[in-house]
Amino acid sequence: MAQFNLPQNSKIEVGKYFKDKTNSKNLRKVNVYRWDPSDGKNPRVDTFEVDMDNCGPKVLDILIKIKNEIDPSVTFRRSCAHGVCGSCAMNIEGINTLACIKSHTDIKGDLNIYPLPHLRVIKDLIGDLSTLYKQYESIQPWLKVGHTGKEKEEIKQSQKDREKLDGYYECILCACCSTSCPSYWWNGDKYLGPAVLLQAYRWINDSRDNDKQERLKKVADELKLYRCHTIMNCTNSCPKGLNPAKAIGSIKKMLATS
Amino acid sequence: MEYKNNPLSPHLQIYRWHVSSLLSITHRIVGVINIIALTLICFWTMFLLLGENNYELFYFFLNSFFGKFLIIFLCWSFSFHILNEVRHLFWDLGYGFDLKIAKITGILTFFGSFILTILFYLIGKNIF
Q: What is the pLDDT of residues A16-33, one digit of tens each?
A: 999 999 999 999 999 999
Q: State the fold for domain B19-124.
A: 3 helical TM bundles of succinate and fumarate reductases (1.20.1300)
Q: Do A233 and B21 touch (CB under 8 A)?
A: yes
Count the neighbouring beta carbons within 10 Å of the beta carbon of residue B94: 14
The DSSP result for A90-153, as a single string, is EEETTEEEETTT-BGGGS-SSEEEEPSTTSBEEETTEE--HHHHHHHHHT--S----S-S-TTS
Portions of chain A given CATH number 3.10.20.30: 8-127
Q: State the fold for domain A130-257.
A: Fumarate Reductase Iron-sulfur Protein; Chain B, domain 2 (1.10.1060)
Q: What is the pLDDT of residues B57-88, one digit of tens each?
A: 888 888 899 999 999 999 999 999 999 999 99
- Kindly report the CATH class assigned to A8-127: alpha beta
At B55, the pLDDT band (50, 70, 90 cuts) reads confident
In whole angstroms, give the CA distance from residue A222 to residue A219: 9
Q: What is the pLDDT of residues B80-109, one digit of tens each?
A: 999 999 999 999 999 999 999 999 999 999
Q: Do A232 and B21 touch (CB under 8 A)?
A: yes
ipTM of the complex, rounded to two decimals? 0.90
In whole angstroms, give the CA distance from residue A23 to residue A51: 8
All residues of chain B having their beta carbon less than 8 Å from the beta carbon of residue A9 are: 5, 7
Q: What is the pLDDT of residue A114?
A: 97
Contact between residue A82 and residue A102 where contact means Cβ atoms under 8 Å apart? no
Predicted TM-score of the model (pTM): 0.92
Q: What is the pLDDT of residue A1?
A: 62
Positions in chain A short of pLDDT 70:
1
Say if residue B98 is exposed, middle or buried (CB neighbours under 10 Å; 0-12, 13-18, 19+): middle
Size of interface A-B (CB pairs under 8 A): 113
All residues of chain B having their beta carbon less than 8 Å from the beta carbon of residue A7 are: 7-8
